[in-house]
């Protein structure tokens, strides 16, 4: 009788222990509903953010242009694949040139290729109108006089002159950029300006650019 009671007790204890282990395993395998929902929501938001960023084409950019002997400041607006840009330029000045400045405005096509939401490549191509203004000083000898010591000193008449011209042409500007934070990016590029739609060295201006790009869509 004692043996029978002992056997019944052992079976009952083992059954209860097995039930506890099973319950613990079940609860261990099933995550908390609140945590599961939060993780799922976060994952979905990250995926949506990644998808949205990779499709962003519109942006506002500010460029510093490293001109030979001068500099330029540019601003550009890309709306989807349409690009508008404008820049002010200051060129090299050496005597007798006192001012060498200009501006240009362009319209064209824009495309941005994203790589893992961190790096991107910009390709810009379009038509531009550029206008330059030059100021220089001329001098003309109008006479002279001889000092008591016999030294002749010429006398000059100085005149300030100015010229300006403008022409249409093309521009090409690729850039590579790095996304710093939520579309705020820094980008370096190179630009070719072709005046009068000619492609010889006398009608090409090229220079590096560096600037900030604010991306949205």
- Rounded to two decimals, the pTM is 0.70
The answer on pLDDT for 20 being more than 50 is: no
Q: Which percentage of the chain shows pLDDT scores above 70?
A: 75
Rounded CA-CA distance 5/16 in Å is: 17
> Distances from the Cα of 156 to the Cαs of 138, 148, 203, in angstroms?
10, 20, 36
**Where are the chain's structural domains?**
1-29, 57-215
Q: How far is CA 106 from CA 55, 80, 91, 168, 186, in A?
A: 24, 16, 19, 9, 22
Q: What is the pLDDT of residue 213?
A: 97
Looking at domain 57-215, which CATH architecture does it have? Beta Barrel (2.40)
User: Of 136, 157, 153, whose CA–CA distance to 145 is shortest?
Assistant: 153
Q: For 147-203, what is each residue's pLDDT tens digit?
A: 777 677 787 777 788 889 999 999 999 999 999 998 899 999 999 999 988 888 888
Structure tokens at 169: 């042409």
């Amino acid at each position: 009788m004692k043996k029978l009671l002992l056997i019944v007790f052992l079976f009952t204890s083992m059954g209860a222990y097995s039930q506890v282990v099973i319950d613990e395993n079940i609860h261990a395998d099933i995550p908390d509903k609140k945590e599961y929902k939060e993780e799922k929501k976060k994952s979905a938001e990250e995926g949506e953010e990644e998808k949205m960023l990779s499709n962003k084409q519109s942006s506002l950019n500010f460029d510093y242009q490293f001109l030979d002997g001068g500099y330029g400041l540019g601003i550009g607006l890309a709306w989807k694949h349409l690009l508008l840009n404008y820049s002010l330029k200051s060129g090299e000045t050496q005597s007798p040139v006192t001012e060498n400045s200009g501006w240009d405005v362009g319209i064209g096509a824009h495309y941005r290729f994203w790589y893992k939401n961190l790096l991107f490549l910009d390709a810009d191509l379009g038509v531009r109108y550029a206008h330059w203004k030059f100021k220089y000083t001329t001098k003309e000898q109008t006479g002279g006089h001889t000092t008591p010591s016999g030294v002749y000193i010429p006398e000059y008449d100085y005149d300030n002159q100015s010229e300006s011209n403008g022409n249409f042409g093309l521009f090409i500007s690729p850039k590579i950029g790095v996304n710093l934070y939520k579309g705020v990016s820094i980008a370096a590029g190179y630009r070719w300006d072709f005046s009068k739609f000619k492609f010889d060295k006398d009608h090409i201006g090229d220079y590096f650019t560096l600037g900030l790009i604010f991306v949205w869509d």
